[in-house]
Structure 1
Amino acid sequence: MQVEMYSLGPLETNSYLAVEGASAVAVDVGGDPAPMLRHLERCGATLTHILLTHLHFDHAYGVKALAEATGATVHAGAADRVLLDSELGQGGFMGLPRLNPYAFQDLAEGETELLGQPCRVLATPGHSPGSLTYHFPKAGVAFTGDVLFYRSIGRTDFPGGSLDTLLEAVRSKLFTLPGETVLYPGHGPETTVTQEKLHNPYFSDFAR
């Protein structure tokens, strides 16, 4: 699997293309998807799905444009639908632009197949009520959104957030993945499960 990362939109959200052969999926689209579309054209891949880790506005500015340009279906956690009635989902928060509304299909925790390989959809709430992580075990990667960052965690003070819920989700879902799994977060650099187990101050001995 080839993973391409783009910092898109006003908050420079990490937006990803995962490409396998002639197929691709996008994970979060934080702004103008033009760079993604150019890459798809260069490599001759067809975008089949747009996967949203959660429905905060900064991860979705470019969703409608990318879906319309490619015909890809959009998927996200059902528990985040409530956010679409607020500035967190619609944009306008802190004076930032509003986003173009988009349609999506609810996606629940469980096993599915994407890019011709297994994909485990993990419910990892805490940053938002419906946050999802997308784990591709064959490729050894997981897209975590804003739940877990390099040496940090996502904010939990937004509506629907919970620090205790987030910490438990990381421990029970992300930290049970193989240690070498590469974690691609919604902001900042990539990391691994082992690195965060050992060095993330919210979970290591540092925090006790």
Structure 2
Amino acid sequence: MNIRSYALGPLMTNGFLVSNGTQALFIDPGGDPAPVLEDLRKAGLTLKHIIITHLHCDHIYGAAALTKATGAPVLANPEDEFLMGTEVGGGGLMGLPMVDNFEYEPLNPGVLKLLDQPVEVLPTPGHTPGSVSLYFKDQGAVFVGDLLFKRSIGRTDFPGGSTPTLMDSVRERIFTLPPETVVYSGHGPETTVGDEHLHNPFFQE
């Protein structure tokens, strides 16, 4: 499996092109997907799914364009649907652009088979009520959206956010994964479960 990251959109949100053979999926299209489409073309990849970790505008700005260009369905947790009626979900916050409308299919917690691989959709609320993390056990990778960053955590002052809930999500869903698991966050560099467990200042007693 191959993972390529892109910093897209007005907040340079990390999006991830994950491929296996000739099939691919994209996680969190935060802006103009032109470079993603070019790489799909060059590599001869077929985009099968577009997956959203949470419905904040900076993670979905490119969703409409990417699904239109590829025909790949968008998957998102409907628990975050209410955010689309707010500035932080639908756009307009701090002068940010509005989000183009797109349809999505429900993404529910549990194990899915994507790219011929088992993928566990972990419920990890706190940053938003419907935030999910995508755990590729066989590849030792977890995509956490804005739940956890290298040496930091996601903000919880937006609608539906909760610091205690976020902390519990990290402890119960992420820190219980193997320590060598690579953590791919929505902003900033990648890290590992073990490194954050030991060194993230928000979790030191």
Question: Into which bin does the TM-score normalised by the smaller protein fall?
Answer: over 0.9
4+ long deviations beyond 3 Å = none
Please say if 1:137 is aligned against 2:137: yes
Query: Any residues of structure 2 matched to 1:28-67 within 5 Å, and which?
Result: 28-67=28-67
Distance in 2 between the 1:101 and 1:87 partners? 14
Residue 106 of structure 2 corresponds to residue 106 of structure 1: yes
Percent identical pairs in the alignment equals: 54
- TM-score, normalised on structure 1? 0.97
Q: Deviation at 1:43?
A: 1.0
Alignment RMSD (CA, Å) = 0.6
Q: Secondary structure at the match of 1:165?
A: helix
Once the two structures are overlaid, the 10-residue window that deviates more, 145-154 or 85-94, is 85-94
Cα deviations by residue, 1:29-84 (Å, 9 ceiling, x for unpaired): 01000111111111111000000000000000000000010010101111100101
1:76 paired residue number = 76
Q: Which secondary structure does the structure 2 equivalent of 1:138 belong to?
A: helix
1:124 deviates by 0.3
- Report the secondary structure of 1:133's partner residue: strand
- What is the distance in 2 between the residues matched to 1:112 and 1:93? 34
Shift of 1:107: 1.0
In structure 2, distance between residues paired with 1:142 and 1:74: 19
Report the equivalent of 2:159. 159
Does 1:93 pair with 2:93? yes
- Aligned to 1:126, what secondary structure does the other structure show? coil
C-alpha deviation, 1:89, in angstroms: 1.1
1:198 offset after TM fit, Å? Answer: 0.5
Q: Which runs of 5+ in 2 are unaligned?
A: none
CA shift for structure 1 position 24: 0.3
State how many pairs are aligned.
205
Task: Normalising by structure 2, report the TM-score.
Answer: 0.99
Q: Secondary structure at the match of 1:202?
A: helix
Matched residue type, 2:86 = S
For residue 168 of structure 2, what is the amino acid of its counterpart? Answer: E
Structure 1 CA distance for aligned equivalents of residues 18 and 142 of structure 2: 11
Which AA in structure 1 matches 2:20? Answer: E
